[in-house]
Amino acid sequence: MKRDLIIVGTGDYAECAALYFTEQGKHALLGFAEERAFITKASFLDQPIFPFEDLSTTFSAAELTVFVAIGPGRINTVRERIFLQCAKLGFRLESFIHPLAYVADPRSIGVNSCVFPFACVEPGARIGNNCVLWTGSHVAHHSIVGDHCFFGPGARVSGRSEIRSHCFLGINSTVRDHVVVSERCIIGAGAVIKKSTTPGRVYSAKPADLLGGDSLDKHI
């Protein structure tokens, strides 16, 4: 029997989540939800948008599954706030592991976390609650990812490292083994972290240099 599902959010992440849940076929998507102050249209992907504040009176918490699909804004604290409100209201919070992902132990994935296609969570690794592992991201053996984290496409964490809560790892960033990325850190696209970080800081890779001349004249 399919469980009724509401996805909180109407951005790109919510669109991807809707496609994945629909493909899996285990849920009946009833629509989307946003906080009333941010609703600017009646529907999204041909589904109704419900005021988030009304979910507990419009639907039965015992019968509804909720998935919070909000991006990494303000170091994932917006998604955290909605996630905690849903839990307080008693809604069942779902997780999603795409069938093309590799997760050694599905029990290692926290609630309201999403593992995208071709992501990998190796044996002994653990992923916290309310996390996003975008396509091609990799968490190696015995590494720990805290709650409310977001991995961009191709972000990689080597073995026995720890990513603490509220971190963002940009596309193709790398964390070497036995390193602690402290809470609330932003690791920029392509950055390589070789030693433990300071809480609440931003780490960026050196940008590419713009060379002179036309690309047609360059030998590749």
Residue 200: count of CB within 10 angstroms of its CB:
12
What residues contact 68, with CB distance under 8 A and at least 6 apart?
7, 8, 9, 79, 82, 83, 86, 93, 112, 130
The C-alpha atoms of residue 213 and residue 47 are separated, in whole angstroms, by 51
54 burial type by CB count under 10 A (0-12 exposed, 13-18 middle, 19+ buried): exposed
Instruction: Return the biggest CA–CA distance within the chain.
Output: 66
Instruction: State residue 37 phi and psi, 5-degree precision.
Output: -65, -20
According to DSSP, the residues that pair with 156 across neighbouring strands are 138, 174
Q: What is the pTM of this model?
A: 0.95
What CATH number belongs to 3-94? 3.40.50.20
CATH architecture for segment(s) 96-202: 3 Solenoid (2.160)
Domains in the chain: boundaries:
3-94, 96-202
HSE (CB half, 13 Å, CA atoms) of 143? 23
User: pLDDT means per 10 residues in the chain (220 residues)?
Assistant: 93 98 95 97 98 96 95 98 97 96 98 98 98 98 98 98 98 98 98 98 94 85
pLDDT at 212: 86
Residues 98-119: tens digit of each pLDDT: 999 999 999 999 999 999 999 9
Model pLDDT, residue 162: 98
